[in-house]
């Protein structure tokens, strides 16, 4: 077999992808070849400001030099040991996660969906072994319009018809309640409920903020009923909302915290479940695992990525730049804008028409953003973006929306 060594034109690459790849995405046709900070460069040399940041996986900016250095150094030593043996990096990442968050323990995985699955397994086993729920009876409550990943068990409790269509049958033991509704949660809890899994702010649903005080009430309902509060902060965490974690706006702490995405600054898939000794202590050797989870390359990258979040105080940057951006976006004058909302540098412009044509025109002016849920333009640049670049990008978006 002969492999063709190089294609230069974007159209050739797009044609290859369409021909040989499954069509489970509908990307904007910009073929990125390199990136630095908040900017990406396409294969034909055009530069774009990145207002998506890989769904918040590159909060630290593309190819952050400190994370790159850690990755190169570790890749030259040892990348993968499997957890059949120990390695020098995993213990240090576990300590960093504890020191940064206060949780007793962590269990590292790779993708976000795997970490969600891990949290669900921990919650069910805790339900049986600690709470005393009868075997195979544990129930987990989730929020409507949730997004927690794409595995069969996770899409099984999605309320989005497309995520589920054709993929059944699904796992039992999940119940949906409207997001933001504390009474619905209270009423859905039974003696068999082991956990409530929720995003503090729903990202994929279109940056949906719950009513003020929601999380605090949720935390107290869970505590009263001996139900674990599991927060999925895969997208909202690590600075995106203007705090290290979104739950910190409500001065609560979840029983289980799921993180991913920016945990690696975009270099590598790294995720983790953080919790107490009581919860993660339910796992015995052989109960759960992953060939790549906790590998030394992942751990070295994650340690460097966390250090950037702290050293560059990305949560504060996000709060300041986000407040500024929200005020600017609220000045857009267009009959198509229904709502402008967000927290930190995680903003949404909701339209009354499809957002895709807007995103295409915004791209043509040098800014990359992607519609979510058809009518929402999400704005989530790297948190390291300069105030000048941010204003430049917001100006392009404003021009396009006001002109259409
Ligand atoms: C992206 C995301 C996931 C899934 O993460 P993957 O790495 O794509 O599996 C889960 N939950 C939330 C809130 C996310 O934003």
- The predicted-structure confidence for 104-132, as pLDDT tens digits, reads as follows 999 999 999 999 999 999 999 999 999 99
Concerning whether 232 is annotated as a catalytic residue, the answer is: yes
Q: Which atom of ligand 1 is nearest to the CA of 204?
A: 15
Residue 9 is predicted with a pLDDT of 85
- List, for residues 28-59, the tens digit of each pLDDT value: 999 999 999 999 999 999 999 999 999 999 99
Find the 19 Cα to ligand 1 centroid distance in Å.
Answer: 27
Given 261, 370, 375, 396, the catalytic residue: 261
To test ligand 1's pocket by mutation, which of 234, 271, 348 has the most ligand atoms within 8 angstroms of CB?
A: 234
Report the pLDDT averaged over residues 90-96. Answer: 98
Give me the percent of the chain exceeding a pLDDT of 70: 98
200 secondary structure, DSSP code: S
Q: List pLDDT tens digits, range 251-310.
A: 999 999 999 999 999 999 999 999 999 999 999 999 999 999 999 999 999 999 999 999
Closest residue by Cα to atom 6, ligand 1, is: 112
Ligand 1 surroundings by CB, under 6 angstroms: 55, 111-113, 116, 147-149, 199, 203-204, 232, 234-235, 260
Choosing from 50, 125, 232, 283, the catalytic residue is 232
Cβ atoms of residues 390 and 381 within 8 Å: yes
- Burial (Cβ within 10 Å: 0-12, 13-18, ≥19) of residue 10: middle
pLDDT for res 2: 59
pLDDT recorded at residue 25: 94
* pTM for the model: 0.97
Cα of 56 vs centre of ligand 1, distance in Å, is 10
Q: What is the pLDDT of residue 169?
A: 97
Residues 73, 160: Cα–Cα separation, whole Å:
43
Q: Which numbered atom of ligand 1 lies nearest the CA of 202? A: 13
Length of the chain equals 404
* Per-residue confidence (pLDDT) for residue 166, from 0 to 100: 97
- Centre of ligand 1 to C-alpha 115, Å, is 9
User: Measured between alpha carbons, how far is residue 233 from residues 113, 202, 203 in Å?
Assistant: 12, 10, 10
Domains of the chain are: 6-60+313-403 (3.90.1150.10), 65-311 (3.40.640.10)
**Contact, 348 vs 376, CB < 8 A?**
yes
The best mutation among 55, 142, 149, 247 to test binding of ligand 1, ranked by most ligand atoms within 8 Å of the C-beta, falls on 149
Cα–ligand 1 centroid distance for 225 (angstroms):
28
367 pLDDT tier (thresholds 50, 70, 90)? very high
**Is residue 404 over pLDDT 90?**
no
What mean pLDDT comes out for the span 140-166?
97
Question: How does the average pLDDT of the chain come out, rounded?
Answer: 97
Q: How far apart are CA 94 and CA 274, in angstroms?
A: 10
Q: How far is ligand 1, taken at its centre, from the CA of residue 133, in Å? A: 29
pLDDT over threshold 70, residue 133: yes
- DSSP code for 208: B
Per the annotation, the verdict on 283 as an active-site residue is no
For residues 157-175, average pLDDT: 97
- 237 neighbors 245 (Cβ within 8 angstroms): yes
Q: Which helix (H) or strand (E) holds 10?
A: helix 10-20
What is residue 220's predicted lDDT score, i.e. its pLDDT?
98
In this prediction, residues 165-169 reach a mean pLDDT of 97
Strands of the 174-177 sheet, one edge to the other: 105-109, 271-275, 256-259, 228-232, 193-198, 139-143, 174-177
Confidence of residue 238 (pLDDT cuts 50, 70, 90): very high
Residue in 50, 103, 125, 147 annotated catalytic: 147
**Degrees, nearest 5: CA angle 342-343-346:** 70
The pLDDT of residue 353 is 97
d(CA 380, CA 4): 36
Three-state DSSP at 257 gives strand
């Amino acid at each position: 077999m002969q492999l063709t060594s190089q294609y230069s034109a974007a159209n050739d690459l797009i044609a290859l992808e369409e021909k040989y790849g499954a069509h489970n995405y509908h990307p904007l046709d910009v073929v990125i070849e390199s990136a630095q900070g908040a900017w990406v460069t396409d294969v034909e040399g055009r530069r774009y400001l990145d207002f998506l940041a890989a769904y918040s996986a590159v909060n630290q900016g593309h190819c952050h030099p400190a994370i790159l250095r850690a990755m190169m150094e570790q890749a030259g030593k040892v990348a993968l040991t499997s957890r059949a043996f120990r390695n020098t990096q995993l213990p240090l990442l576990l300590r960093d996660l504890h020191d940064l968050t206060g949780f007793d323990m962590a269990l590292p995985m790779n993708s976000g969906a795997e970490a969600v699955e891990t949290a669900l397994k921990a919650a069910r086993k805790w339900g049986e072994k600690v709470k005393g729920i009868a075997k195979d009876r544990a129930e987990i409550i989730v929020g409507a319009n949730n997004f927690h990943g794409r595995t069969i068990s996770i899409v099984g409790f999605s309320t989005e018809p497309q995520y589920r269509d054709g993929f059944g049958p699904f796992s039992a033991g999940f119940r949906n309640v409207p997001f933001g509704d504390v009474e619905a949660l209270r009423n859905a809890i039974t003696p068999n409920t082991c956990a409530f899994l929720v995003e503090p702010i729903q990202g994929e649903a279109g940056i949906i903020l719950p009513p003020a005080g929601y999380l605090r009430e949720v935390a107290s309902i869970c505590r009263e009923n001996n139900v674990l509060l599991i927060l999925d902060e895969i997208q909202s965490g690590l600075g995106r909302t203007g705090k290290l974690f979104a739950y910190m706006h409500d001065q609560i702490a979840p029983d289980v915290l799921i993180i991913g995405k920016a945990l690696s600054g975009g270099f590598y898939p790294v995720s983790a479940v953080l919790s107490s000794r009581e919860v993660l202590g339910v796992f015995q050797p052989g109960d759960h695992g992953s060939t790549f989870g906790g590998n030394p390359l992942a751990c070295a990258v994650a340690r460097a990525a966390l250090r950037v979040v702290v050293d560059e105080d990305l949560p504060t940057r996000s709060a300041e730049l986000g407040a500024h951006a929200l005020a600017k976006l609220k000045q857009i004058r267009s009959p198509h804008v229904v709502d402008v909302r967000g927290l930190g540098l995680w903003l949404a412009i909701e339209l009354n028409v499809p957002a895709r044509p807007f995103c295409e025109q915004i791209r043509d002016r040098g800014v990359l953003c992607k519609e979510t849920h058809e009518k929402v333009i999400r704005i989530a640049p790297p948190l390291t973006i300069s105030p000048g670049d941010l204003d430049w990008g917001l100006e392009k978006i404003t021009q396009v929306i006001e002109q259409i």
